[in-house]
Amino acid sequence: MSDLHKLPDELQLATAAHVKYIQGLDTKKDQYEYWLTEHLRMNGLYWGLTALHLLRHPDALPRDETIDFVLSCQHENGGFGAAPGHDAHMLSTVSAVQILALVDGLDELDRRGKGKATTGKFMADLQNPETGTFAGDEWGEEDTRFLYGALNALSLLGLLNLVDLDKAVEHIVACANFDGGYGLTPGAESHSGQIFTCLAALTIAGRMDTVDVDKLGRWLSERQLPNGGLNGRPEKDEDVCYSWWVLSSLAMIDRIHWIDRDALIKFILRCQDTELGGISDRPGNMVDVWHTLFGLTGLSHLGYPGLDTIDPVYCLPKSTLDRVLGTQR
């Protein structure tokens, strides 16, 4: 990163603008889009809050209101909906647990919520005992995203014992391909998003021994394109979100140095809206909180100055995990 200080102003991290952008997300109630995305409210809060923590502005959203909102979305069965009145779902439950971990509020589950045990049971019950996979809700399709999400949140709650880890690992191994990557299901082509969820789940389960590190590292490193950005699969376009999926995967197998850091940093910085804040998928496109978080996690993985360290497995600041899980991990 030797030449980073020589970058022009528009290629510096616009921290203040990003903080303001995230703070402003919940004031857009007069915009149609705000209501159309209500089913992502819990996820959005998690994305925004994690981004603020990385930007070292952890108090930019009020803690009490955050906890109140999260708890207002919990159902009797322990699961969380995306917003009050929305059904409980695995993804919003995982986000809820992550948010509470971020603000040091996991104990509020027992104090004011339905309890850690009930929350954990909601997720554990979504495991298919035959195949080891997880569903998203009582109706939903199974997907390694849910498997990973469940392992992530259950380990934060200290309740991994509720699920059959061996079966879950068995399923992930069945999704592996000859190129070292993982697909959506057994037999599906390797995809960076699935590789991330599978590797992170394997890390939590303590089974990285099943990974073909060299082949996977090679495949992942080929995701970097001449413009510095990363793509998700061969012969596809770059996108800032792969600064999370690909880079975290490389981090978990200790191969981040197999891509060009400076080139990726510049690509991510070019995707900023330096005036109004936020980061987009590609330079010049509409920003959103999802790409904002994953641009920042990418920069954090690359050691960009002024950002807190992100954990490649949990997508939470390392300091949060040290507090919740202890430093001996």
Residues 281-320 that bind other proteins (CB under 8 A): 281-282, 284-291, 315
**Residue 29 C-beta: closest distance to other proteins, Å:** 8
Return the residue of 59, 257, 305, 328 that touches other proteins, per CB under 8 A: 257
Residue span 153-192 as binding mask against other proteins, x where in contact by CB under 8 A, dash where not: --------------------x--x-xx---xxx-xxx-x-
CB nearer other proteins, residue 168 or residue 259: 259
Binding other proteins by CB under 8 A: which of 55, 273, 298, 304? 273
Euclidean distance between CA atoms 42 and 187, whole angstroms: 32
- In degrees and rounded to multiples of 5, residue 227 shows phi and psi of -80, 5
Q: Is 217 in the site for other proteins (CB under 8 A)?
A: yes
Q: Which of 240, 180, 238, 231 is nearest to 210 (CA)?
A: 180
Q: Quick one: which of 20, 63, 104, 258 contacts other proteins (CB under 8 A)?
A: 258
Exactly one of 236, 303, 309, 322 binds other proteins (CB under 8 A); that residue is 236
Q: Return d(Cα 6, Cα 184) in angstroms, integer.
A: 42
Residue indicated by tokens 């390392």 = 318
Instruction: Provide the 10 A C-beta neighbour count for residue 75.
Output: 16
Minimum gap (Å) between residue 254 Cβ and other proteins: 11
The site string for other proteins over 71-110 (x = CB under 8 A, - otherwise) reads ----------xx--xxx-x-xx-xx--x------------
CB atoms within 10 A of CB 180: 19
Output the CA torsion 189→315→13→22 (10° steps).
Answer: 110
Looking at residues 7 to 26 of the shown chain, list those that interact with other proteins (rule: CB under 8 A).
Answer: none
> How many chain residues interact with other proteins (CB under 8 A)?
78
| Of 27, 32, 59, 161, the one binding other proteins by CB under 8 A | 32
In the complex with other proteins, which residue's Cβ is closer, 226 or 328?
226
CA distance 95 to 329: 21
Q: Nearest distance from residue 317's CB to other proteins, in Å?
A: 14
Q: Which of 191, 111, 105 is nearest to 143 (CA)?
A: 191
Q: What are the structure tokens assigned to 279, written together?
A: 């980061």
**In the complex, minimum distance from the CB of residue 197 to other proteins, in angstroms, rounded to a whole number:** 8
3-class SS of residue 203 = helix
The two structure tokens encoding residue 89? 């779902």
